């Protein structure tokens, strides 16, 4: 289809939550801003710790580093616009800008899925093949796998944008979502969206269920390996090394699988409830992940405590020097 087919629509309007009353716009924008602020600060703290503490320059923490970068980029892609929509009543986004946001949303979501796959691989090799772990999983191995994930993840979202961009958008320009995604945009097309939605669904399933299948296999193998450990203390210690990663993986996959499955078995939600669920599984993990890193990952927790104690000691020295 030619580019002229969508000339009736020059910009889209992000509606956000259709049922939200204007008197709650200030509250909604404040909550979303706090989510963005906490997400950014928490993940930047992890970046600073990683940059200043060479003890963290190990394979597992390089995986976490890539997840931190992806979380910051995803939140920065999605939240500022919806915050502006409720804070300043400026929900308009240019036609091209909406498709750029759509691409980044699906691209970064795919990157997250692949990085979680690498995280599960790291734990699988570490626990099931501990003697071979140093030979198999090196910093260079993680760099190669992570770079591959960032590159490979570009293909399918780019194809989705290329197929959706030329569609005729000649009716409503209101996007019933908090950001531009494939379903929200193609629903507005003045044509049968089935030829475009089915390939996108297949892509989503491959990006979601492919890594998830290996993750389930890896953690089943880990459980079998843990059961074979003789001492109870040894079992708990081994499980504690992957509990943080398991929480992160569950936060990412379980709500997404629930939404996809419910849609395909006929369970219907109100538009507002569906958007709330999507926002929770999209934005809650990037905000909570830094807390999981700090409290469930030994070396990051130790590094944070060292910096905190050093900061307190420096402040005490400064106070003492001033009082002299």
User: Do 110 and 134 meet the contact criterion of CB atoms below 8 Å apart?
Assistant: no
What is the DSSP track for 127-186? HHSTTTHHHHS-HHHHHHHHHHHHHHTTHHHHHHHHHHTTS---S--EESSSS--HHHHH
Reply yes or no on whether the pLDDT at 240 is more than 90. Answer: no
Q: What is the DSSP letter of 106?
A: H
**3-state class (DSSP) for residue 101:** helix
Number of Cβ atoms within 10 Å of the Cβ of 300: 25
User: Do 257 and 10 meet the contact criterion of CB atoms below 8 Å apart?
Assistant: no
Q: pTM, whole model, 2 decimals?
A: 0.86
pLDDT digits (tens, 9 = 90+) for 95-150: 999 999 999 999 999 999 999 999 889 989 988 898 899 999 999 999 999 999 99
User: Do 238 and 229 meet the contact criterion of CB atoms below 8 Å apart?
Assistant: yes
Reply yes or no on whether the pLDDT at 4 is more than 60. Answer: no
């Amino acid at each position: 289809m030619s580019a002229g087919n969508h000339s009736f629509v020059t910009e889209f309007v992000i509606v956000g939550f259709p049922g939200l009353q204007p008197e709650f716009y200030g509250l909604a924008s404040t909550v979303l801003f706090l989510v963005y602020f906490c997400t950014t600060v928490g993940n930047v703290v992890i970046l600073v710790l990683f940059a200043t503490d060479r003890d963290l320059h190990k394979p597992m923490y390089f995986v976490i580093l890539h997840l931190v970068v992806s979380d910051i980029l995803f939140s920065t892609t999605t939240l500022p616009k919806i915050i502006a929509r409720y804070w300043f009543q400026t929900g308009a986004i240019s036609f091209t800008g909406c498709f750029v946001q759509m691409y980044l949303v699906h691209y970064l979501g795919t990157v997250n899925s692949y990085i979680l796959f690498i995280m599960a691989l790291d734990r699988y090799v570490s626990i099931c093949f501990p003697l071979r772990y140093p030979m198999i999983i090196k910093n260079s191995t993680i760099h190669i796998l992570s770079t591959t994930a960032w590159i490979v993840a570009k293909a399918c979202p780019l194809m989705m944008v290329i197929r959706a961009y030329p569609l005729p958008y000649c009716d409503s320009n209101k996007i019933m979502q908090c950001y531009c995604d494939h379903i929200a945009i193609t629903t507005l097309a003045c044509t049968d969206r089935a030829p475009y939605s089915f390939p996108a669904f297949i892509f989503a399933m491959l990006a979601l269920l492919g890594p998830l299948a290996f993750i389930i296999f890896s953690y089943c193998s880990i459980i079998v390996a843990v059961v074979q450990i003789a001492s109870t203390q040894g079992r708990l210690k081994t499980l504690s090394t992957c509990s943080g990663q398991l929480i992160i993986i569950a936060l990412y996959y379980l709500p997404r699988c629930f939404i996809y499955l419910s849609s395909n078995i006929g369970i219907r939600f109100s538009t507002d409830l569906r958007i709330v669920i999507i926002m929770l599984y999209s934005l809650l993990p990037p905000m909570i992940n830094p807390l999981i890193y700090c409290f469930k990952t030994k070396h990051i927790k130790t590094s944070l405590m060292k910096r905190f104690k050093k900061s307190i000691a420096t402040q005490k020295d400064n106070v003492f020097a001033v009082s002299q």
